[in-house]
Amino acid sequence: MSDFIQELADSLARDVLDGGIALDDPYFYEKVAKVVGASSPTLQEVFMTSIRIRLAEKRGREFLEKALAAKRAGQKLPEAPREAEKGGH
């Protein structure tokens, strides 16, 4: 059952993040989380974990791209944001 919930939540997370872009609402996922949580707190928890992981991966890729672009341009590499030092998932 947990694989099913994970797949369902991750699929929804992907679609909701895309929907947030289309709706020009970067926090649309919070609204969806409330709707999901009203029926299934378990699905809500897994959905939000998937959202956080996907957003973190996106930020990591953006940082990588900036660092590589700086290196190619002979510029100083960007520093990681301070909040990255605090940890997370």
**Predicted pLDDT of residue 88:** 56
What is d(CA 77, CA 43) in angstroms, rounded to the nearest whole number? Answer: 40
Domain ranges of the chain: 2-75
Q: Alpha-carbon distance 77 to 64, whole Å?
A: 10
pLDDT of residue 86: 59
Residues of the chain with pLDDT under 70: 84-89
Angle at 32 between CA 28 and CA 37, to 5 degrees: 145
Of 6, 53, 5, residue with least CA distance to 29: 53
pLDDT score, position 81: 84
Question: How far, in Å, CA of 76 to CA of 31, rounded?
Answer: 39
Q: 39-60: per-residue pLDDT in tens?
A: 999 999 999 999 999 999 999 9
Single pTM value for the model: 0.84
Report helix, strand and coil shares of the chain as percent, to nearest 5.
80, 0, 20
3-state secondary structure of 24: coil
